[in-house]
Amino acid sequence: MHRLLLAALFAATSLNGADGRIRIDNDFVRVIHAVTQPHVKGPMHRHELNRVIVYLDAGDLTVVSQDGHKDEQHWKAGQVAWAPAGGMHTSENVGAGPFRLVEVEIKRPAPAAAPVRKPALDPVAIDPRHNILLFDNPQVRVFRSWREPGGTEKMHEHTGSGRLVVLLTNLDAQIKAPDGAATPQHGTAGDVLWSGPVTHAATNTGSQRFEMVVIEIK
């Protein structure tokens, strides 16, 4: 846990040694798609908001806190970290090439009461094989979701303030609503998608497995 919290202090933006693009900025989240360049040390900085970080590439980072503590980090593509707001630090990509990640800043504090979930429509509860819980705290629930080609999800709902999806693979799918209406959806690995609370089921219409990180904002 100590390593996870320290590691999560690193988040790439244009202010700390990375080229960052804001993908989504609404009342609930600010989402930055960042590319950290190798051996560019960022200035001392802090993060004021709790964050979820999705690492799109494997990479090696050195994070140094204001008191001189050094944390050497080694991330795999697709890993996800919870990043509490933290103290002053610098970060540097010490790998051989650029390193991509998605940083999700959680703008609102935890609600007074957790969203009510119907067990029969909770994707993690009804299909734990395809929806693997990563962590659940007062602000977010985060899980990894995947589907084989031709596979169809059970009808399920996402509760709370909204849902953010980070695609780890390309996506070709058909999304079915409770009334039977179907809508095609396509995306590229690294894309981020936002919606409010929603009930639906997706069918993988592509030829390859799709995989994504789902971040439910409470």
The pLDDT tens digits of the residues spanning 117-174 come to 999 999 999 999 999 999 999 999 999 999 999 999 999 999 999 999 999 999 999 9
Q: What's the number of domains the chain is made of?
A: 2
Domain residues for the domain of 52 are 2-106
Decide if pLDDT at 9 tops 50: no
Looking at 81, 106, 131, the residue that finishes a domain is: 106
Instruction: Tell me what the pLDDT averaged over the chain comes to.
Output: 91
Domain holding 29: CATH number? 2.60.120.10
Residue at 112 is within a domain: no
Do residues 135 and 83 share a domain? no
Same domain, yes or no: 22 and 89: yes
Q: Is the pLDDT of residue 1 over 50?
A: no
* 161 torsion bin: left (phi>0), alpha (psi -120 to 50), beta (else): alpha
What pLDDT is stored for residue 38 in this prediction?
94
> Is the same domain home to 12 and 80?
yes
pTM higher than 0.85 for the full model? Answer: yes
Residue 86: which pLDDT band, with cuts at 50, 70 and 90?
confident
Residues 60 and 152 in one domain: no
The model's pLDDT over 200-214, given as tens digits with 9 standing for 90+, comes to 999 999 999 999 999
pLDDT cut 90: percent of the chain above it: 83
Asked if residue 171 lies in contact with residue 213, where contact means CB atoms within 8 angstroms, the answer is no
* 106, 127, 147 - which closes a domain: 106
- In 3-state terms, what secondary structure has residue 164? strand
Residue length of the chain: 218
Q: Do 74 and 141 reside in the same domain of the chain?
A: no
Does residue 123 sit in the same domain as residue 210? yes
Summarised one tens digit per residue, pLDDT across range 179-208 is 999 999 999 999 999 999 999 999 999 999
Q: 123 and 93 in one domain? A: no
